[in-house]
C-alpha cells in the first residue's frame, strides 16, 4: 500500500509542471458590465446590461487596441428572439464571467506575434442582429430590446476614457455574426479615434453571401429582410448603399456594403464556409429528404454533383469579392478552401506550426503583413480538395 501511495504522489509530481504550463497558456479574462448603458437604453434582448472583456496591453502595445466582436447567429422573429433572450446570446445574466482569450486575442508572443501586447477587448454579443438594431417590442408580459447599435455605442463610450481615445493603432475585428458587424461599424470606429491613428478592420467568416439555395430560393435573403424589419436595422445601414438598392435591407449583406467602406479592410473567409454551406446553400428547408446530410458532415462523402454546386458557391464568393481585392490597394484577403467557420480565434487555425496556409503563409502572418504594410496580403486558395493544410471543422448544423 505504501508503495502504491508513493507511486501516486510521484505521478502527481510528474504531472504538476504540465498542469502549471497548461494553466499559464489558458488566458481567462474577467467580464465587465457597462453600467452606464441603461441610461441610453443600450440593453441586451432581455433588458440586462451589455458586457465586454478587456485584457490590458503592455510595452510597445500599450497604446494599441484590438476589438473583437463575438459571433452567434441572429434572431429574425419574436419566437426565436424570446428563446435567445433566455441564453448567453441574449442576456449577460447567462454569460460566463471568464472568457478564454486565444488566437488573435492571445497574450503570448509565440502564438500571436503581432497583437499579443495590445489592449484586447471581446465585445459580448446579446442583441441578435450583429450590433445593428434599434427597436423595442413590448406586450403585456415581456419586452424585447433590439438595441445592438446602442450597445456598440455604449461599449465604445466606456472604452474611450480607458485609453481607446488615445489609440495609436487599432483593429476592429469579429467572427461570424461579429465579423459581419465589422462591415457596419468599421468607418464609425475610425471616426471615433484620433485622426492620426492607424485604424483598420478585419472580418473573419463574416462575408455572408446573398446566395440562392440548392432549390434556387432566396432563403437567406428572406431571412435578412425579416431580421432588418423586426430589429429596426435599416436606419443604421450605410445610407449611400440603401439609396442605391431597390431593397435597402440587402445592405445588411457585406457584398453590397463593402464598396462604401473607406477604412482599410481585410477579409478572412473560407470559400466553403460551413455555416453558409449548412444554412444558406443547403439549408434543411431546401433538403427535406436529407440528400445533403452526408455531404454536410464529410466533404469526402459529397457526390460529384454536390461538389460541383459547392465549387459554384466558391466562384460566386470570389466573384462578389473580386472588385474589392482587384481594386483596393489598402485591402487584404485570405480565402482558403477549408470547411471551417471562424479561423482567427482558435489557436490551431490562427497561428501554429500546422495551421492552415496559402502560399506557405499562415492566417496570422497574412493579417500582420497587411496591417503593418510589410507585404501584400491577397491570398486566394486553389479549389477543394487541393489544400492539405486545412483544419476542416464541421460542427453539427446550428447557429454560430
- Summarised one tens digit per residue, pLDDT across range 83-139 is 999 999 999 999 999 999 999 999 999 999 999 999 999 999 999 999 999 999 999
Sign of CA dihedral 127, 128, 134, 135: negative
The answer to whether residues 154 and 56 touch, using CB atoms and an 8 Å cutoff, is no
List the one residue out of 207, 216, 152, 218 whose CA is nearest residue 179.
207
The answer to whether residues 121 and 171 touch, using CB atoms and an 8 Å cutoff, is no
pLDDT band at 329 (very low <50, low <70, confident <90, very high): confident
How many angstroms separate the CA atoms of 282 and 257, rounded? 24
Predicted confidence at residue 24, as pLDDT, reads 47
How many angstroms separate the CA atoms of 75 and 80, rounded? 5
User: Which contacts of 155-161 are long-range, i.e. CB under 8 A and separated by 24 or more positions?
Assistant: 155/34, 155/37, 155/50, 155/52, 155/123, 156/189, 156/192, 157/36, 158/32, 158/34, 158/36, 158/37, 158/52, 159/52, 159/54, 159/65, 159/67, 159/121, 160/192
3-state secondary structure of 226: helix
Query: Is the pLDDT score of 264 beyond 90?
Result: yes
The answer to whether residues 121 and 159 touch, using CB atoms and an 8 Å cutoff, is yes
Predicted confidence at residue 327, as pLDDT, reads 86
**What is the residue-averaged pLDDT of the chain?**
92
Predicted confidence at residue 395, as pLDDT, reads 62
Would you state the cell numbers that stand for residue 108, as one nine-digit string?
503570448
Centre a 10 Å sphere on the Cβ of residue 59 and count the other Cβ atoms it contains. 8
How many angstroms separate the CA atoms of 200 and 198, rounded? 7
- Summarised one tens digit per residue, pLDDT across range 344-390 is 999 999 999 999 999 999 999 999 999 999 998 999 999 999 999 99
Catalytic site positions: 176, 273, 341
Q: Where are the domains of the chain?
A: 28-380
- Summarised one tens digit per residue, pLDDT across range 175-214 is 999 999 999 999 999 999 999 999 999 999 999 999 999 9
Question: Checking DSSP bridges between strand 119-123 and strand 51-55, what pairing results, if any?
Answer: antiparallel
CA distances from 275 to 72, 268, 296, 395 (A): 11, 14, 10, 9
Query: Is the pLDDT score of 45 beyond 60?
Result: yes
Q: What is the dihedral of CA 294, 298, 301, 307, to 10 degrees?
A: 100
Average pLDDT over residues 234-250: 96
The residue whose grid cell reads 446573398 is: 210
Class of domain 28-380: alpha beta
Cis peptide before 123 (omega within 30 of 0): no
3-state secondary structure of 360: coil
Amino acid at each position: 500500500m505504501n508503495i502504491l501511495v508513493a507511486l501516486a504522489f510521484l505521478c502527481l509530481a510528474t504531472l504538476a509542471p504540465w498542469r502549471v504550463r497548461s494553466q499559464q497558456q489558458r488566458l481567462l479574462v474577467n467580464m465587465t458590465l457597462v453600467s452606464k448603458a441603461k441610461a441610453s437604453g443600450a440593453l441586451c434582448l432581455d433588458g440586462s446590461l451589455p458586457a465586454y472583456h478587456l485584457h490590458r496591453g503592455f510595452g510597445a502595445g500599450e497604446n494599441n487596441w484590438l476589438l473583437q466582436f463575438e459571433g452567434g447567429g441572429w434572431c429574425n422573429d419574436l419566437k426565436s428572439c424570446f428563446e435567445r433572450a433566455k441564453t448567453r446570446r441574449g442576456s449577460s445574466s447567462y454569460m460566463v464571467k471568464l472568457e478564454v482569450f486565444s488566437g488573435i486575442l492571445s497574450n503570448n508572443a509565440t502564438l500571436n506575434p503581432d497583437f499579443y501586447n495590445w489592449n484586447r477587448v471581446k465585445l459580448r454579443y446579446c442583441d441578435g442582429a450583429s450590433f445593428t438594431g434599434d427597436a423595442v417590442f413590448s406586450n403585456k408580459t415581456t419586452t424585447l430590446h433590439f438595441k445592438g447599435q446602442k450597445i456598440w455605442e455604449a461599449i465604445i463610450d466606456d472604452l474611450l476614457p480607458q485609453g481607446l481615445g488615445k489609440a495609436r493603432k487599432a483593429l476592429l475585428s469579429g467572427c461570424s455574426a461579429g465579423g459581419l458587424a465589422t462591415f457596419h461599424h468599421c468607418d464609425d470606429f475610425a471616426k471615433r479615434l484620433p485622426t492620426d491613428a492607424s485604424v483598420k478592420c478585419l472580418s473573419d467568416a463574416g462575408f455572408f453571401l446573398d446566395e440562392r439555395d440548392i432549390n434556387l430560393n432566396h432563403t437567406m435573403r428572406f431571412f435578412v429582410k425579416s431580421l432588418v424589419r423586426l430589429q429596426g436595422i435599416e436606419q443604421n445601414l450605410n445610407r449611400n448603399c440603401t439609396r442605391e438598392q431597390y431593397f435597402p435591407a440587402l445592405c445588411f449583406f457585406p457584398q453590397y456594403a463593402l464598396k462604401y467602406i473607406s477604412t482599410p479592410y481585410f477579409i478572412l473567409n473560407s470559400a466553403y464556409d460551413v455555416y453558409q454551406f449548412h444554412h444558406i446553400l443547403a439549408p434543411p428547408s431546401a433538403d427535406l429528404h436529407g440528400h445533403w446530410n452526408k455531404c454536410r458532415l464529410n466533404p469526402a462523402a459529397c457526390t460529384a454533383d454536390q461538389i460541383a454546386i459547392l465549387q459554384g458557391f466558391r466562384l460566386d464568393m470570389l466573384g462578389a469579392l473580386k472588385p474589392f481585392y482587384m481594386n483596393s490597394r489598402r485591402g487584404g484577403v485570405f480565402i482558403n478552401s477549408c470547411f471551417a467557420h471562424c479561423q482567427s480565434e482558435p489557436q490551431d487555425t490562427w497561428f501554429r506550426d500546422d495551421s492552415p496556409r496559402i502560399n506557405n503563409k499562415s492566417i496570422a502572418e497574412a493579417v500582420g503583413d497587411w496591417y503593418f504594410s510589410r507585404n501584400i496580403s491577397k491570398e486566394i486558395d486553389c479549389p477543394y480538395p487541393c489544400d492539405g493544410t486545412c483544419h476542416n471543422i464541421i460542427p453539427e448544423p446550428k447557429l454560430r
